[in-house]
Structure 1
Amino acid sequence: MYAVEQYARAHIVTDTADSPDDERRVVPVALRYDPETDPRQVHITLPGPHEWVFPRELLEQGLRVPVSKGGVRVWPLGRVQAVMEFHSAQGVAVVQVDSKALMRFLRRTYTVATPVAH
């Protein structure tokens, strides 16, 4: 069994931009799912040491309707984009990602066999 990893491009959405270029800066986002260590969770890593772990189901539902759990919110933005909002003590990070990339990642997570509990 193996972990699923995928990289996607995301736009950082902020209202504190110094210039129009900063407002929609493109950053790499790492998506990870490891069925052996945590079969119900996905990991999303933003630039720097910013990793978020939340239920895979939240990401899946958030592609269709607005959902939130803890410090994570996900909602569709039209037909081709999704927004993920991450809240922490350091502030709020909001990123916009192509829905197609997130759906591809989710499909791959469901093709990996889930470990059987003993």
Structure 2
Amino acid sequence: MRRPLTIDHTVHVRLASRPGDRPVPATLRYDTSDPLAVRVAFPAEAALHGAEVTWVFARRLLDEGLRGPAGDGDVRFRPGLPGRTFMELKAPQGSALVELATEDLHRFLAATYAFVPQAVEAARLDVDGALAALLGSF
């Protein structure tokens, strides 16, 4: 089995509900040990409760969202103004519309595909390891 690799990419985001605020840094993360998922961590200053918040979603969702509206759950993407992409996040406490630079997202996605191409991501899943960890927790 290959050694896991993590890709972190810092981006600047703007909350659409606060257009006058300065952008805040967020971190996009891809871990080859979980090849189907992408994580985005928002710092405490951008979060509702003053603590860092991480959202997890399918890498394919991000890819689709760069071409058109995508998603029907808690995380959705859609193109915005030229060069901008919107990510909508829904939680029981409320929702947020986050604006990101489309080029940053393309660059991050390209880096993830360089390490785990879309065609082989399912083959990289460690189903046996995940099942053993799940059963070991009982």
Scaled by the length of structure 1, what TM-score is found? 0.84
Identical aligned residues as a percent:
35
Which ranges in structure 1 are unaligned for 5 or more consecutive residues? none
Pick the structure with more strand per residue.
1
Q: Please state how far the C-alpha of 1:69 moved relative to its aligned partner.
A: 3.5
Give the counterpart of 1:31 among 21, 28, 33. Answer: 28
Alignment of 1:1-118 (within 5 A): 1-14=4-17, 17=18, 21-22=20-21, 25-36=22-33, 38-48=34-44, 49-113=52-116, 115=124
How many residue pairs align between the two structures?
111
Please, which runs of 5 or more residues in structure 2 have no aligned partner?
45-51, 129-138
SS at 1:104 equivalent: helix
Q: Is the 8 A contact 1:58 1:69 kept in 2?
A: no
What TM-score do the two structures reach when normalised by structure 2?
Answer: 0.73
What's the RMSD between the two structures over aligned residues?
1.8
Of the two structures, which has the highest relative contact order with CA contacts closer than 8 Å and spacing of 6 or more?
A: 1
Task: Assess, with a 3 A threshold, how the Cα gap between structure 1 residues 69 and 35 changes in structure 2: closer, same or farther.
Answer: farther
* More helix as a share of residues: 2
Q: Given the superposition, is the C-alpha separation of residues 4 and 89 from structure 1 closer, same or farther in structure 2, using an over 3 Å criterion?
A: same
